[in-house]
């Protein structure tokens, strides 16, 4: 049954749920987009290439949460300086993720799966961590209900691979319901040392192995 869901039914659930959510949440999206334009600036949408299923690149859409404040040299200020109160609120409520419903409808993403991360991280994954790309990236996932940005990168990747190995209808429903709870409680938004999450610089085990060889 899990195989049938993974191969056929999961995509149909994504289409039905994303299309319904887009229709229902369109007024919320339009109002939020207007507020982004007024309080943060334009462009309202943040677009970035991200690796998806089998590491195939796609354009991810989100609502912008950071300003374009720059120093006298024209370089962007650090994230903590560009993330104002409104942008922080958008992230805490996950309203900035609304445009990803379009990615789901298009087939770039799924409702549930490993989160789509930065393209520059691809060479940094070890062989097991790369397996997170054996499923479509998701709007939410197992790592998001287990701690979100409060987890270490290694813990997140371990949960991503665990999800890939155990995709099921009931598992996805449970993750979706627990995600709603997490969003309402605004848990795990920040890591211990950053406004969102520190950049991934490679697996600790891989780094230790590299240092030993040196």
Q: What are the 10-residue block averages of pLDDT along the chain, 214 residues in total? A: 89 97 97 96 95 98 90 76 89 94 98 97 97 98 90 95 97 95 73 66 64 45
- Classify residue 126 as exposed, middle or buried by CB count within 10 Å of its CB (0-12, 13-18, 19+): middle
Task: Reply yes or no: is the peptide bond before residue 202 cis, omega within 30 of 0.
Answer: no
Closest CA to 111 of 145, 157, 69: 145
CA dist., res. 88 & res. 92, Å (int): 6
pLDDT of residue 127: 96
Please report, for the chain, the start and end positions of each structural domain, with discontinuous segments joined by +.
Answer: 2-213
Q: What is the pTM of this model?
A: 0.88
Q: Which two tokens stand for residue 170?
A: 């009931």
Measured in residues, the chain has a length of 214
pLDDT of residue 61: 98
pLDDT of residue 178: 94
What angle (nearest 5°) sits at the alpha carbon of residue 173, between those of residues 14 and 102?
25
pLDDT of residue 191: 52
- Compute, in degrees rounded to 10, the torsion defined by CA atoms 154, 197, 125, 98: 110
pLDDT of residue 196: 62
pLDDT of residue 205: 58
Residue 58, beta-bridge partner list: 50
pLDDT of residue 194: 54
Give CA 165 to chain center in angstroms: 19
Closest CA to 9 of 171, 130, 175, 179: 171
């Amino acid at each position: 049954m899990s195989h049938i869901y993974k191969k056929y039914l999961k995509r149909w659930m994504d289409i039905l749920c994303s299309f319904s959510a887009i229709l229902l949440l369109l007024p919320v999206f339009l109002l939020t987009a207007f507020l982004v334009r007024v309080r943060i600036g334009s462009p309202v949408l943040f677009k970035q290439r991200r690796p998806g299923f089998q590491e195939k690149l796609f354009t991810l859409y989100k609502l912008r949460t950071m300003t374009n404040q720059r120093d006298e040299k024209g370089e962007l200020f650090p994230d903590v300086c560009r993330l104002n109160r409104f942008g922080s609120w958008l992230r805490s409520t996950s309203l900035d993720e609304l445009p990803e419903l379009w990615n789901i409808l298009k087939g770039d993403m799924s409702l549930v799966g490993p989160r789509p991360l930065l393209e520059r991280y691809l060479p940094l994954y070890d062989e097991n961590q790369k397996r997170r790309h054996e499923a479509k990236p998701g709007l939410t996932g197992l790592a998001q209900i287990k701690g979100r940005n409060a987890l270490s990168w290694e813990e997140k990747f371990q949960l991503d691979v665990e999800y890939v190995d155990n995709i099921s209808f009931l598992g996805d429903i449970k993750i979706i319901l627990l995600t709603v709870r997490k969003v309402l409680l605004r848990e795990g938004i920040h890591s211990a040392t950053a406004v969102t999450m520190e950049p991934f610089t490679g697996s600790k085990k891989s780094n230790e192995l590299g240092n030993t060889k040196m």
